[in-house]
Structure 1
Amino acid sequence: MFSLKQWNQSPEWQNWVGYETAQPQQKLSPSSVTELQEIIKKARADKQRIRVTGAAHSFSGCAKPEEIAVSLHHMRGLISVDKDAKLATLYAGTYLYEIGDALKEYGLALENMGDVQAQTLAGAVSTATHGTGITLGSIANQVEVWEWVDGCGEIHTHHRGDPETDELGDALHASLGMLGVFTKLTLRVVELYGLKEDNQLLDFEEGLECFYETAYSHRHLEWFLFPGTNKIQQKTLTMIAPVPMTAKQKRRDKFDSIVTLNGAFYLLCELARIKPSLTKKVSAISASAIPNTKREGYSYEVFPTPRGVKFNESEYFIKLADFDECISEINHILLADNKGSHFPIEVRTHKGERGMLSPTQGEDCAVLSFHVYKGMDSEPLFMWLYEYMKKWHGRPHWGKVNKLSNAELQMLYPKLDRFLEIRRQYDPDNVFINSWLNEKFSIL
């Protein structure tokens, strides 16, 4: 979890895996919107640039602070709830792991979450962070009202409007922080619910044969395909009555987190790092160790998965209709050559949603996430992935490693130029642009 003390004490900023680093000239953590406005106004006057760094959980350089780093750590918490309208307003610096308990007091919950909950709400919304579910979208898709401070230090509020005419809402949907700094976000929430999780190990062909049936008959479906093994871990989540997770299950989760997921798996990862020729063997051992487990609890207790073993990640969205052919080809390729990675490939589903920079571009998608253990060379896998995904018109998750050029992004995002026009209205002096954003969007 993010530590403001460590953030302040270290002269260096780095992301979660440690591959993106910077030495910002200033680190600032405002306690109010007024204080934030003054920081932005001064930065603009001094011709300096700002990035809000959140919990540093992006793998890309999206949040890299090259001059001024800002943390919203002091701007957290639930502000108000409208139970009848199913709306909850929160400060944008609130961490995802804080939201579940806060909403539970009102009998409410987030519609969907991912399996990582360390991020800030602002960061999750800005990058369209998502979970899985063929009828469900990202956390950004749950936003009904945005409040933000623009590059001139002015505050704005926008309510999501008509899908046919709300260009600003579609620009804010996944804005990468380029229109300004979010201060408050109003989310569409749902009645408190529970989830039942089931895990099982399947042969690849067995899982693929019933993939769509399983996806549509469960609220959430997630796969973990172990490279070079022809094996998958299939995880399903089914909605149940809202009951808290038992103390016994919490103890078991903690044990699994320390001993199994982040203990034994860590040792296997180190073995693969020290002797890369064993990556395929390590992948097979990992697959064979998957237990057929079951978990139950409040949704926000079941969603997250501990991530103590660090890795680098690249992720692509493809049309759901292309999934069978694409994943079959990937499995076949990796059976012959696992590209130096033993980490399971994560497969999720995602409903098409609005947003000029949404990787779904309005289409229901399958989302494929590729991981490489920290300390191992990710280039063989990620370069192959970059080239391979051209065949499927794959669009990258903005918070993950992204090797696409500006010209390639222009082809994949037809409304990119219009997004940049809107961005200029709210940040005419490019206060919120860093080198990574300039590389991807050719702004400076």
Structure 2
Amino acid sequence: MFSLRQWHGNSNWQNWVGYVTAEPEQKLAPSSVAELQDIIKSARRNNKRVRVTGAAHSFSGCAKPEEIAISLHNMRGLISVDTEAKLATMHAGTYLYEIGKALKQHGLALENMGDVQAQTIAGAASTATHGTGLTLGSIANQVVAWEWVDGTGEVHTHQRGNPQTDDLGNALHASLGMLGVFTKLTLKVVDLYGLQERNEVLDFEEGLARFDDTAHAHRHLEWFLFPGTNKLQQKTLSGIEPKPMSSTQKLKDKFDSAITLNGAFYVLCELARMKPSLTQKVSQISASSIPNTKREGYSYEVFPTPRGVKFNESEYFIALSDFEACITEINDILLKDNKGSHFPIEVRTHKGETGMLSATQGEDCAVLSFHVYKGMDSEPLFDWLYEYMKKWQGRPHWGKVNKLSHVELQHLYPKLDQFLQIRHEYDPDNVFMNRWLEQKFLGHASS
């Protein structure tokens, strides 16, 4: 988890995997909106640029602080709850792992989460971080009201309106912090619920034949397809009556994290790193080692999965109607050449959303995530992925590695220019930009 002491104690900054690094001139952690306003006004006067770094869990350069780094670690916690309307307002620096317990005290829960809980709610909303589920969207889609400080230091609030006409709401939906620094977010929440998780190993053909029925039969469906093996791990989550996770299961989770992820899988990853010719063999061993398991508990206890091994990641959204053809072709390609990665391909589903920068662009999607172990060359896989996904009009997750140019993004996001016009209204002096954002959104040459 994020440590403010370590953040302040180290002069440099790096993202979770350590591939994106910076040496910001200042690291600041405001404790109030007024203090944040002063920081931004000073940065504007002195022609300095500001990025909020959150928990640094993005794999892209979107959060890279080139001059002033801000942490919202001191601006956390639940502010208010409307149990009747099922609305929860929280400070933007609140970490996802803090939200579940806080909402539980009011008999409420987040509608959906991914399997990582280290991020701040502001970071997760800004990048449209998501879980899986045919009828479920991203963290960004759960936000119904925003408070933020813009590039001139002014405070704004906005409540989401009709998605067909609410241009500002659709720009804020997934803004990557380019309109300002979020200070408060109000989320639509749901009644407290439990989840039952089941895992099993399937042959690729069997899993694909059952995919549609399984996705409709469960609240959540997730795949982990092991490249070059024709095997996949299928994880389903089904809603159950709310109940706490047993102490035995919690102990088992800790054991699995320490022994399986930090132990056995780490050894296999290191073997593949030291001898890349063994990547397919390592993938086969990993696929054959997945046990059939069941877990139950409150939703916020079941969603997270321990991440004991670090990796680099690239992720694309494609039309759900294209999924069968696309994943079949990918599996066939990787059976012949696994592109130097033994990590499983993560497959999820996602409801369409109306945000201008939403990777869904309003259509239900399948989401494919590709991983490469830290220390191994990710370029062969990610270069191939960049070219291959053009066939399917694949759109990238903003927090993951993507190699698309500004011109390519304009084609994939028809309202990009409209978003940039709105962005300019709230940040006319580009206080919240960095070189990565300039290259992707303004078309400046990367450096």
What TM bracket, shorter-length normalisation? over 0.9
Question: CA shift at 1:405, angstroms?
Answer: 0.2
Q: Distance in 2 between matches of 1:443 and 1:359?
A: 19
Question: CA shift at 1:262, angstroms?
Answer: 2.2
Question: 1:389 maps to what in 2?
Answer: 389
Q: Distance in 1 between matches of 2:297 and 2:233?
A: 21
Question: 2:237 maps to what in 1?
Answer: 237
2:168 aligned with 1:168, yes or no?
Answer: yes
Question: 1:44 maps to what in 2?
Answer: 44
Aligned residue for 1:270, secondary structure, equals helix
2:236 maps to amino acid: T
Deviation track 1:12-46 (CA, whole Å, cap 9, x = no partner) reads: 10000000000000000000000000000000000
Question: 2:108 maps to what in 1?
Answer: 108
Question: CA shift at 1:176, angstroms?
Answer: 0.4
Question: 2:299 maps to what in 1?
Answer: 299
Aligned residue for 1:210, secondary structure, equals helix
Question: CA shift at 1:304, angstroms?
Answer: 0.3
Q: Distance in 2 between matches of 1:270 and 1:327?
A: 28
> Any unmatched runs of 5+ in structure 2?
none
**Residues 178, 427 of structure 2: 8 Å contact kept:** yes
Question: 2:67 maps to what in 1?
Answer: 67
Q: Distance in 2 between matches of 1:335 and 1:204?
A: 11
Aligned residue for 1:41, secondary structure, equals helix
Deviation track 1:337-368 (CA, whole Å, cap 9, x = no partner) reads: 00000000000000001100000000000000
Question: CA shift at 1:261, angstroms?
Answer: 1.9
Question: CA shift at 1:443, angstroms?
Answer: 6.5
Deviation track 1:409-444 (CA, whole Å, cap 9, x = no partner) reads: 000000000000000000000000000000001177
Question: 2:434 maps to what in 1?
Answer: 434
Question: 1:35 maps to what in 2?
Answer: 35
Question: CA shift at 1:165, angstroms?
Answer: 1.1
**Residues 80, 89 of structure 2: 8 Å contact kept:** yes
Superposition pairs of residues 353-392 of structure 1, within 5 angstroms: 353-392=353-392
Superposition pairs of residues 123-272 of structure 1, within 5 angstroms: 123-272=123-272
Q: Report the TM-score when normalising by structure 2.
A: 0.99
Question: 1:325 maps to what in 2?
Answer: 325
Question: 1:78 maps to what in 2?
Answer: 78
Deviation track 1:155-213 (CA, whole Å, cap 9, x = no partner) reads: 00000001221000000000000000000000000000000000000000000001011
> Any unmatched runs of 5+ in structure 1?
none
**Residues 407, 443 of structure 2: 8 Å contact kept:** no
1:282 maps to amino acid: V
Q: Distance in 2 between matches of 1:242 and 1:281?
A: 41
**Residues 245, 296 of structure 2: 8 Å contact kept:** yes
2:24 maps to amino acid: P
Q: Distance in 2 between matches of 1:400 and 1:132?
A: 17
Q: Distance in 1 between matches of 2:134 and 2:40?
A: 40
Question: 2:314 maps to what in 1?
Answer: 314
Q: Distance in 2 between matches of 1:223 and 1:100?
A: 25
Question: 1:400 maps to what in 2?
Answer: 400
Aligned residue for 1:124, secondary structure, equals helix
Q: Distance in 2 between matches of 1:168 and 1:21?
A: 32
1:398 maps to amino acid: W
Q: Distance in 1 between matches of 2:171 and 2:216?
A: 30
Matched residue count: 444
1:191 maps to amino acid: D
Q: Distance in 1 between matches of 2:396 and 2:316?
A: 4
Aligned residue for 1:89, secondary structure, equals strand
Question: CA shift at 1:263, angstroms?
Answer: 1.2
2:378 maps to amino acid: S
2:422 aligned with 1:422, yes or no?
Answer: yes
Q: Distance in 1 between matches of 2:224 and 2:443?
A: 38
1:136 maps to amino acid: L
**Residues 116, 304 of structure 2: 8 Å contact kept:** yes
Q: Distance in 1 between matches of 2:443 and 2:242?
A: 48
Aligned residue for 2:362, secondary structure, equals coil
**Residues 180, 427 of structure 2: 8 Å contact kept:** yes
2:49 maps to amino acid: R
**Residues 406, 443 of structure 2: 8 Å contact kept:** no
Q: Distance in 2 between matches of 1:245 and 1:9?
A: 36
Q: Distance in 1 between matches of 2:405 and 2:191?
A: 42
Deviation track 1:111-147 (CA, whole Å, cap 9, x = no partner) reads: 0000000000000000000000010000000001000
Deviation track 1:81-103 (CA, whole Å, cap 9, x = no partner) reads: 00000000000000000000000
**Residues 405, 443 of structure 2: 8 Å contact kept:** no
Q: Distance in 2 between matches of 1:217 and 1:176?
A: 34
Deviation track 1:210-253 (CA, whole Å, cap 9, x = no partner) reads: 10110011000000000000000000000000000000000000
Q: Report the TM-score when normalising by structure 1.
A: 1.00
Q: Distance in 2 between matches of 1:309 and 1:373?
A: 8
